Amino acid sequence: MDAELVPPLKAYGTRRAEVRYGEGSRADFLLSEPGLPDAWVEVKSVTLCRDDSLAEFPDSVTARGARHLAELGRMAAAGHRAMLIYCVQRTDCTDVTLARDIDPAYAAASDAARAQGLETIALGTHISPQGITVTGPLGQAS
């Protein structure tokens, strides 16, 4: 993950991947910088689109995803920075929302974690034979 591509994380210089935390979880990334709170970051790949230009997550029930949200919420409540990045792996979407009908427990865990201080950001991508490139932020609907 290139923190330069995520404006709220640009100030962080040190990045570690797959760092254990909480009760048996592993964060995708731990970012650190002297003078700033540690930033615990999870990245979720989003592929579902059931409505014109609106990406949705999750596309199936994910107890693991709900557990990650609870852990991130606890980290935020403890004074750390906690962020979940929804990375949309399709080019026809301009906004992201929770698929509350698919996994109500995940949606409830997201609401609770955000109330504890979890930050969320949605990023668009361009996919080509050469690779996947982040194109920038997308809108978020709740």
- pLDDT tens by residue, 12-33: 989 899 999 888 888 999 999 9
Q: How far is CA 15 from the centre of its chain?
A: 16
The number of helix segments (H) and strand segments (E) in the chain equals 2, 9
- pLDDT tens by residue, 30-75: 999 999 999 999 999 999 999 889 999 999 999 999 999 999 999 9
Give the global pTM.
Answer: 0.91
CB atoms within 10 A of CB 116: 16
Q: Which domains does the chain have, with CATH numbers?
A: 3-140 (3.40.1350.60)
Q: Taking Cα atoms as reference points, which of 73, 50, 55, 48 lies closest to residue 141? A: 55
Quick check: 108 pLDDT over 70?
Answer: yes
Indicate the angle between helix axes 63-77 and 104-115, nearest 10 degrees: 10
